[in-house]
């Protein structure tokens, strides 16, 4: 079984990652802009394609543009 990997949207505070890892340190939690992750400013559809390709779940609170995709 594969581990669940999370990609946090750039609009989320880095504190989200800190708190997640504080409670569950063995999770893989990356943020947009991290090395090997999509860079900040990447379009939503490209982020979703990257997540599908690399098998990450996207965590976002973007209710403005993300629902379109």
pLDDT tens digits for range 10-57? 989 999 999 999 999 999 999 999 999 999 999 999 999 999 999 999
In a domain, 69, yes or no: no
pLDDT for residue 66 is more than 80: no
The whole-number pLDDT of residue 3 equals 85
- Is 69's pLDDT higher than 60? no
> Is residue 52 situated within a structural domain?
yes
Closest C-alpha to 31, from 23, 19, 63, 1:
19
pLDDT score of 62:
72
Q: What residue numbers bound the domain in which 39 lies?
A: 5-63
Number of domains forming the structure of the chain? 1
What's the pLDDT at 2? 67
Q: Which pTM does this prediction carry?
A: 0.86
Please report whether residue 44 resides in a domain. yes
* Contact (CB, 8 A) for 26 and 37: no
């Amino acid at each position: 079984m594969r581990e669940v990997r999370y990609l946090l949207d750039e609009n989320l505070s880095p504190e989200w990652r800190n708190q997640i890892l504080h409670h569950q340190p063995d999770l893989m939690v990356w943020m947009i802009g991290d090395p090997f992750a999509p860079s900040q400013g990447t379009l939503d559809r490209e982020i979703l394609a990257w997540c599908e390709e690399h098998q990450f779940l996207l965590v976002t609170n973007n209710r403005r543009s993300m629902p379109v995709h």
